[in-house]
Amino acid sequence: EAGVTQFPSHSVIEKGQTVTLRCDPISGHDNLYWYRRVMGKEIKFLLHFVKESKQDESGMPNNRFLAERTGGTYSTLKVQPAELEDSGVYFCASSQDQRTGVSPLHFGNGTRLTVT
Amino acid sequence: AQRVTQPEKLLSVFKGAPVELKCNYSYSGSPELFWYVQYSRQRLQLLLRHISRESIKGFTADLNKGETSFHLKKPFAQEEDSAMYYCAVRLKTSYDKVIFGPGTSLSVIP
């Protein structure tokens, strides 16, 4: 099966610009997560979709971040306007429906965002 | 608040030596614990989970509820074990949310 794919792999933008990250989960995976790793720090939870619904967005840092998952397939994470502290690696992960048993997270390669 | 801690940011061991990567968690419910690993130039991937009680690549981890720990162990480290290791806990109070520890970078010296 195809794994989780993320696009772009790298993005360099200037402060104040807008960037949209995309994640395509494994087909059939209801759960989709966004995480962020800032240089040298832990992988922090941003939000969790179950199908097209936002189950938990408690990790979203502020209203400059907007995530969508229209149709319950791929997801986008938009940062507008970007700030310097938004730099980091953004990971997407997906997993099957929890009711089918404990399902591990399958991660994409991440998008490295650099805001200058 | 739910937390996962990994006290060692960096850990270096010699090839053939035992290795233990520590993980402690604070969570009031019944946790599900995992270890994820990221090798150089590869994506983050599951190494093992506590419910499976399995040994993967020679690694084992035992959940100790009394000490709220889930340390990762291997009796004889190999060079290919050098990687970033993350302990993670699935929170059952929130639908399938998984939080990660800060990670430990393991370096196995030849």
Cα separation of A89 and A64, whole Å?
Answer: 17
DSSP state of B69: B
Q: What is the CA radius of gyration of chain A?
A: 14
C-alpha pair distances (Å), A59 with each of A35, A64, A69: 9, 13, 17
Confidence of residue A2 (pLDDT cuts 50, 70, 90): confident
- What is the C-alpha to C-alpha distance for residues B80 and A65, in angstroms, rounded to an integer? 38
- Quote the tokens at residue B56: 């993967």
pLDDT tens across A53-89, in order?
A: 998 899 999 999 999 998 889 999 999 999 999 999 9
Given phi > 0 = left and psi -120 to 50 = alpha, else beta, which region is B103? left
Q: Is there a contact between A45 and B102 if contact means CB atoms under 8 Å apart?
A: no
Residue B95's nearest CA partner among A63, A42, A77, A51 is: A51
Which residue type occupies A57? E
Q: Give the tokens for residue A16.
A: 């104040």
pLDDT of residue B37: 96
Per CB-CB distance under 8 Å, the chain A contacts of B96 are 31, 48, 50, 55, 95, 98
* Amino acid in position B28: S
Query: B86: which chain A residues are within 8 Å (Cβ-Cβ)?
Result: 43
- pLDDT tens digits, one per residue of A31-60: 999 999 987 678 999 999 999 999 889 999
| pLDDT tens digit sequence for B5-39 | 999 999 999 999 999 999 999 887 777 899 999 99
User: Within an 8 Å CB–CB cutoff, is residue B31 touching chain A?
Assistant: no
Rounded Cα distance, B10 and B105, in Å: 5
Strand partners, A19: A79
